[in-house]
Amino acid sequence: MRQIDHHLAIDDGVIVCRRCGHELAPADENFKSGAVMKERPIEQANPLIVDPRTFIDDRVVFRQYYCPGCAALLENEVVLASTPPVWDKQLAVQTADAAARVPAAAEGRR
């Protein structure tokens, strides 16, 4: 397994949840394609936000991505409603050799 972040890792070519093992997506795809997504009004991103229409005409939304296995909140986005899911974390797995996927092999990360 190779760590992607606090929640996710790559295990044998697949992005998995480190907590429940749920397989989200192939390693060369955006994990978000396999996550549950909820798009919420921007006011839900923080209790202090006021109606954005006070200030702007464009619509900015708060998107949350969850693990379908254990419901962990994997990542949030504050984005224009028109923006597709951002591929924010993309490890270059395709080019790495198999050893690189095993964190115990320290030299694998070189």
Q: Nearest distance from residue 33's CB to other proteins, in Å? A: 15
**Which of 20, 76, 99, 105 forms a contact with other proteins (CB under 8 A)?**
76
**CB 7: neighbour CB atoms within 10 A?**
21
Q: Nearest distance from residue 99's CB to other proteins, in Å? A: 12
Name the phi and psi angles at 104, rounded to 5: -60, -30
User: Nearest 5°: CA angle at 80, between 79 and 84?
Assistant: 75
Coil, strand, or helix at residue 100? helix
104 near other proteins (CB under 8 A): no
Q: For other proteins, which is the closer residue by CB, 98 or 109?
A: 109
Contact assessment for residue 101 and residue 2, using Cβ atoms and an 8 Å cutoff: yes
Q: Which of residues 18-57 bind other proteins (CB under 8 A)?
A: 36, 38, 42, 45-50, 52, 54-57
Measured CA to CA, the distance from residue 24 to residue 47 in angstroms comes to 30
Binding site residues, other proteins, CB under 8 A: 2-7, 36, 38, 42, 45-50, 52, 54-58, 60, 64, 66, 68, 70-76, 78-80, 83, 86-92, 95-96, 100, 103, 109-110
